[in-house]
Amino acid sequence: MVSPPTRTPWWAWAWPLLAAVFLIIHLFIHAGGPFLVFETFALIAAVFAAVYHAEVIAHRVGEPFGSLVLAMAVTIIEVALIVSVMISGGVDTAALPRDTVFAVVMIVCNGIVGLCLLAGGLRHHEQGFQLQGANAALSVLIALTCLTLVVPNVTISSAGPTFTNSQLLFAAVVSLILYGSFVFVQTVRHRDYFLPKEDEEEHAAAPSTHTTLASSGLLLVSLVAVVGLAKALTPPLEQGIAHVGAPKSIVGIVIAGLVLLPEGVASFRAARANRLQTSMNLALGSALATIGLTIPAVAAVSVLLHKPLSLGLMPKEIVLLVVTLIISLVTLGTGRTTVLQGIVHLVIFAAFLFLAIVP
């Protein structure tokens, strides 16, 4: 968790309001063309404002609650966006939750973690973190990904990479139990597993109650604006991807990359500041929150609104997932990291992006 400045910068309140204005204009005018460029800028600006206000709140409540606040904020954005697209879409959106969740796992475990390890290793040579916390996060991540993204391919009650309604509900309950158990361990039972070995921020002044409340309100405005603008920009994004002939799974990667931008920025800054424990809390916590909360949300939408849902990954994606999980176990299995681990994760991430474009 990176300490925010003591005085709120002008953009931290201006950008959420700007994004809200553009969202209102879009709802009433439905402008297109060049207006989409301004909407895109407003969306990205609102994302950075959201991460700032989440960091203010996180600094007030402390670790590991601070990382949890930011992870939950990012996940709310993603869940709301996916569910809104599912409700407004048809059969074409059946694989969007799967593609987005898988993209989140690859972006977090390879892109964000790899970049953080590389940046931290280049600056500090070798960095350490709590091994127990990393192992706890990885064990839950392995169970969640396999039960929700791989098992649908081997069930026989429904055709294809899908679950029946009862299987969907079971997967939703299991996801909530696993994620809820992890949060309980992280924040209550074994909180010390997720705390930095040395509290680098013990001398930093915590934000005032007034500042924290203001950031809470602006964070809510930012999240609503991001969800609304992202939903507005999804149709032109899909049209552009179809126009160039790229696979539809690219939509899920773009959505995942967009909503993980705040998490990635915060994790990178923490790693550069030699706070690798906080960086890992942010990254792995985001991946767990994404699966643990997205799967129940999309399962409920699928069952209640009779929307098609395909969760099972294809063989290529399963191979990439298995490699990622194995490398993550090796990388985080010693409690110490160097630039080499970062390079390995980034190479896998590059393979994921390349094979998504050229399947």
**């003591």: which residue's tokens?**
6
For the full predicted model, state whether its pTM sits above 0.85.
no
Q: In the prediction, which pLDDT does 62 show?
A: 66
pLDDT bracket for residue 166 (50, 70, 90): very high
Q: Higher pLDDT residue, 319 or 256?
A: 319
Whether the CB-CB separation of 218 and 13 falls below 8 Å is answered with yes
**C-alpha 301, offset from chain centre:** 20
Chain mean pLDDT for the chain? 82
Report strand pairing: 127-128 vs 336-337.
Answer: antiparallel
pLDDT digits (tens, 9 = 90+) for 269-293: 888 888 888 888 888 888 888 888 8
pLDDT digits (tens, 9 = 90+) for 62-97: 666 666 776 777 777 777 777 777 776 666 678 888
The rounded distance, in Å, linking the Cα atoms of 93 and 86 is: 6
Whether the CB-CB separation of 179 and 288 falls below 8 Å is answered with yes
The rounded distance, in Å, linking the Cα atoms of 223 and 76 is: 8
Out of 146-160, 195-209, 219-233, 306-320, pick the least confident: 195-209
pLDDT bracket for residue 111 (50, 70, 90): very high
Token readout for 196 is 């930095």
The rounded distance, in Å, linking the Cα atoms of 338 and 39 is: 40
State the average pLDDT over residues 206-213: 79
Closest CA to 329 of 122, 109, 107: 109
Whether the CB-CB separation of 276 and 270 falls below 8 Å is answered with yes
**Domain annotation for the chain: domains and CATH numbers:** 10-357 (1.20.1420.30)
Contacts with 130 (C-beta within 8 Å, 6 or more apart), sequence order: 192, 193, 194, 195, 197, 277, 335
State the average pLDDT over residues 1-27: 77
- Please give the full DSSP string across 201-254, using - where no structure is assigned: TTTSPPPPHHHHHHHHHHHHHHHHHHHHHHHHHHHHHHHHHHHHT--THHHHHH
Q: In the prediction, which pLDDT does 1 show?
A: 46
State the average pLDDT over residues 48-75: 73
pLDDT digits (tens, 9 = 90+) for 126-153: 887 877 888 888 999 999 999 999 999 9
Q: Is 202 a residue whose pLDDT tops 50?
A: no
End-to-end Cα spacing for the chain: 37
Give percent of the chain above pLDDT 90: 20
Query: Which residues in the chain belong to E strands, given as ranges?
Result: 127-128, 336-337
